[in-house]
Structure 1
Amino acid sequence: MTEFSLDSIAVRTAESRDLNPLDSFIQPFVESGQLLPRTIDELDALLPRGFVAEWNGEIVGFAALEVYSKKLAEVRSLAVSEVLRGKGVGKKLVEACVKLAHELNVLEVMAITANEDFFRSCGFDFTLPGQKKALFIQTRDT
């Protein structure tokens, strides 16, 4: 494997040609329970606001911004190749999502995650100052 440098990672907007490679890329994350399953149509719907990280011409990461309203968006489907975790690739993908939210004038970006330390290192916190906390209930079996 070529020596890694974060500068050698290209983060770009996802394109339709990425659909099948991304589907293959995220499957191990789905199988290990790190990502929710997505149909090919659901993944396709994420592409216009999705970002791909490439290294040596290979997809090594993905994240998408799901915009719910002018007030709220969510970082979705963040995945980084295991061999490149902890090297800044995920942070670059999250930064791309947050930058897009800013360009779209979305006020807040959230992340639902099992890896809170990572998102806190990207500037996220449990709630914004003065805000109420979000509570969830599961409506279906997993």
Structure 2
Amino acid sequence: MTETISTAARFAMSHTEDCSPDQTGYEIRPAQVADLPQLQELVDRFVQANRLLPRTTDELHDLVPTGFVAIAEDRVVGFAALEIYSPKLAEIRSLAVDQGYHGRGIGRGLVSRCVQLAVSRNVLEVMAITSSDGFFKACGFDFTLPGEKKALFIQTRDEY
């Protein structure tokens, strides 16, 4: 199966080779329902800063089975989830890393775990809708869809 993984996906997945606390000061593990209060607090801070769209506790609960958290000092300091839409497409959702932990590879590690999950589930493409283009480009994402495809959106209501 490794030979069918794209170069970009291999690059994205290469960033969690050792995310053990002794090496990095944090660990990345699958999200758990018990993490929800801390996830909501973390996401709410990003919503208030206009960095993420609002997420209810129920929406975050739905992301837990395909989500990952970064834990440092016994608390959640990062989160990302993979929402799988079909065998062809998944999306990185609600990527957030506590401001005090930026620059330590946590975001990259969370993205890597999401891409690994997509590969393990044979999802063809993973997208990220973001205002942090440079970050995702550094994680191996490209700005374009394959071929001549373009992603177009229409907003169906004024607020989220």
TM score, norm. by length of structure 2: 0.82
Matched positions, count? 139
Of 58, 66, 75, which residue of structure 1 is paired with 2:92? 75
Question: Match for residue 37 of structure 1?
Answer: 54
The offset of 1:8, in angstroms, is 2.1
Fraction of identical pairs, as percent: 56
Offset, 1:129:
4.0
CA distance in 2, matches of 1:46, 1:93: 14
User: How has the CA–CA distance of structure 1 residues 98 and 21 changed in structure 2, closer, same or farther, with 3 Å as cutoff?
Assistant: same
In structure 1, give the amino acid aligned to 2:34.
Answer: R
Is residue 102 of structure 1 aligned with residue 119 of structure 2?
yes
**SS of equivalent residue, structure 1 residue 133:** coil
Question: Structure 2 residue aligned with 1:123, among 140, 148, 153?
Answer: 140
Instruction: String of CA shifts for 1:38-82, please: whole Å, max 9, x gaps.
Output: 111111000000000011211110000000000000000000011
The structural deviation recorded for 1:5 is 7.8
How far has the Cα of 1:86 moved from its partner?
A: 2.3
Which of 57, 63, 67 in structure 2 is aligned with 1:50? 67
- Please report how far the alpha carbon of residue 25 of structure 1 lies from its aligned counterpart in structure 2 after TM superposition: 1.8
Cα gap change, 1:119/1:5 in structure 2, threshold over 3 Å: closer, same or farther?
farther
CA distance in structure 2 between the partners assigned to 1:19 and 1:131 by the alignment:
40
Higher relative contact order (CA 8 A, sep 6+): 2
Distance of 1:51 and 1:131 partners within structure 2:
33
**TM-score in terms of structure 1 length:** 0.92
| Greater helix proportion | 2
Match of 2:77 among 38, 41, 60: 60
Q: Is the 8 A contact 1:80 1:90 kept in 2?
A: yes
6-15 or 86-95, which moves further after superposition? 6-15
CA-atom RMSD, angstroms? 1.6
Unaligned runs of 5+ in 2: 1-20
Amino acid at match of 1:50: G
Q: Measure how far apart 1:32 and its partner are.
A: 1.1
**8 Å Cα contact 1:6/1:89 also seen in 2:** no
Find 2:130's aligned residue among 101, 113, 135: 113
Secondary structure of 1:132's aligned partner: coil
